[in-house]
Amino acid sequence: MTFYLNDLGLLCALGGSKAEVGRRLVAGDRSGLVMTDRFSPGRETIVGRIGSELPEIPPEYSVYQCRNNQLLLAALEQIRPTVDAMTASLGRDRIGVVIGTSTSGVLSTEQALASVTQAGALPDRFHYKQQQMGAGADFLTAYLNLAGPAYTISTACSSSGKAFASARRLLNLGLCDAVIVGGADSLCGLTINGFAALESISAGHCKPFGRRRDGINIGEAASLFVLSRQPGPVALLGIGATSDAYHFSAPDPAGKAVIKAMQLALADAGKTPDQIDYLNLHGTATVLNDAMESAAVNAVFGPALAVSSSKGMTGHTLGAAAALELGFCWLLLTGGSEDTLIPNVSGDEPDPELAPLHLVRKGERLGRRIDTCQSNSFAFGGNNLSIVVGRA
C-alpha cells in the first residue's frame, strides 16, 4: 500500500517557512550559521540557530513550555489546515503522533539548574514535563485534542527518520488513518559541550566532504509531515533501517550496514539505483563519517548520482535531521523549479582521498525533472536509516 506525505511544515537556520527555506536552500545560503558562545561560555562556536520569532505556548499548556515545543508549534502552524481537515473527516482517535528527538526540552532543565545555582530555587515556570523525552508528542496530542497513539523515538541522529518507519507501521496495522510525524531538536549546552568533548565540533564552518573538514556545526530545527493513505503530492516509497552496533560514536569504516540500509530502502520502494535522481547525504563533515559514507554511496550508486549534504547550511540538527532533510527532498519534489538541486556547501575543495561522488555545485540543475529522492541518516550506536520518496 502506498502512503503519502500530504503536507509539510519546517523551520531551521534557513528560515521559518517552506518558501524561505526552499529559496535559501537551493541558493546555497549559509548565513543562518552564526558564531556564539551562548551555549558554551568562553568558547565561541558556529551554530545553526533559528532566527524567526516563535509562537508562544498557550498558558493552559504551560507545563510543556520549552523552546523545543515552540519549534514544534511553529511547524504545526504551517500544516494546521491539513491536520484540522483530517481530524474532522477521520476522527481524533484515528490521528497518531510520532516525534523524533535527541534532547527534547533539556535546555529548560539547564536554565532551571542555573536558577537553582543563582537563586536557590527552581523557576516557577519549570515543570518536569518540559524535559521529558516524550514531551513533544504529548504536547502536540494535548494541544490538538487527539486520542490516537502518540509517542517519541530517540535514536540520536536518526530519531526522526525512525519516526517515519514507526508511523508507517501504525498505518499498516490499521491503528491510525493519519499520523503527524517528524522531529525537533533545539540548541542547548548539553549537545554543544558534549560534541566538543568528543572533539567533533568544527573550529569554523563545517566542510562536508571537504579536504580540510574538521567536524560539525550543531543546529536546531523542527519538521512535521502529515502521513496518510489519502493521495498527496509526495509518496513515501521505501524505508531501510539497519543497526551495526560497531561503536558508541564512530561509524563502521566499511559501511556494510549503511550500504544495506540504502539497498533495503531501494528494494522497499521497488527502485533500482539508477532510478534515484538525487540523494541527500548524512554528510556531517566529520573525518570518519564522510569517509565511510562516500565509500558506501559509491558502492551502491557509483560516482554519477547527484548528491549533497545540506548540513553546510543548517548545521547538524541531530534528532530532527532526518525529518528536516526529508523535508528538503519534499521541497525539491513540489517546488516550482523541477530540476534545481541542493548544493553541497562546504567552502572547501572536495577531498580527493574520498571515494568519488558527484557533489552538487551551486546553481547546478539536474537537466530533467526530479522525480525520486533518497535521504540518509546515521546515528551513534550504528542506527542507520535511508528513505526514498517520489512525486505522487
Average pLDDT over residues 277-299: 98
Q: pLDDT band at 293, cuts 50/70/90?
A: very high
pLDDT of residue 391: 97
Instruction: Report the number of distinct structural domains present in the chain.
Output: 1
Range of the domain at 82: 3-391
Say if residues 286 and 315 touch (Cβ distance below 8 Å).
no
> Can you give the pLDDT at residue 145?
98
Residue 266 CA to its chain's centroid (Å): 20
Query: How many CB atoms sit inside 10 A of residue 84's CB?
Result: 11
Query: For the residues 277-296, what does the mean pLDDT come to?
Result: 98
pLDDT at 59 over 80: yes
Structure confidence at residue 248 as a pLDDT band (50, 70, 90) = confident
What sign has the CA pseudo-torsion 275, 376, 226, 368?
negative
In whole angstroms, give the CA distance from residue 77 to residue 175. 25
The closest of 162, 228, 180 to 4, measured between CA atoms, is: 228
Write out pLDDT tens, residues 352-375.
999 999 999 999 999 999 999 999
Q: Is 59 exposed, middle or buried (0-12, 13-18, 19+ CB in 10 A)?
A: exposed
Q: Which helix (H) or strand (E) holds 3?
A: strand 3-11
Report pLDDT for 352.
98
Name the band, by pLDDT with cuts 50, 70 and 90, for residue 108.
confident
Helices 106-119, 67-90: inter-axial angle, 10-degree rounding: 140
pLDDT of residue 113: 85
For position 336, what pLDDT does the model report?
A: 83
Q: How confident is the model at residue 246 (pLDDT cuts 50, 70, 90)?
A: confident
Please answer whether residues 344 and 309 qualify as being in contact, where contact means their C-beta atoms are separated by less than 8 angstroms: yes
Q: Which of 156, 134, 206 is nearest to 384 (CA)?
A: 156
> Which pLDDT belongs to residue 89?
98
Q: Per-residue pLDDT for 249 more than 80?
A: no
Does pTM top 0.95 for this prediction?
A: yes
- Per-residue pLDDT band for 125 (boundaries 50, 70, 90) equals confident
d(CA 265, CA 376): 10
pLDDT of residue 348: 97
61 falls in which pLDDT band (50, 70, 90)?
A: very high
pLDDT band at 40 (very low <50, low <70, confident <90, very high): very high
Q: What is the pLDDT of residue 122?
A: 85
Q: Is 271 exposed, middle or buried (0-12, 13-18, 19+ CB in 10 A)?
A: middle
Specify the pLDDT at position 102.
95
> What is the pLDDT at residue 123?
85
The predicted-structure confidence for 307-323, as pLDDT tens digits, reads as follows 999 999 999 999 999 99
Mean pLDDT, residues 8-18? 98
How high is the pLDDT of residue 112? 81
What does the pLDDT read at residue 317? 98
Give the ranges where the chain is alpha helix by DSSP (H).
18-27, 67-90, 106-119, 135-144, 159-172, 189-197, 256-269, 287-301, 311-314, 321-334
* CATH code for the domain in which residue 262 is found: 3.40.47.10
**Which is it for strands 45-48 and 218-219: parallel, antiparallel or unpaired?**
parallel
Average pLDDT taken over every residue of the chain: 96
pLDDT band at 189 (very low <50, low <70, confident <90, very high): very high
Q: Residue 364: its pLDDT value, please?
A: 97
Express each pLDDT in 210-223 by its tens digit: 999 999 999 999 99
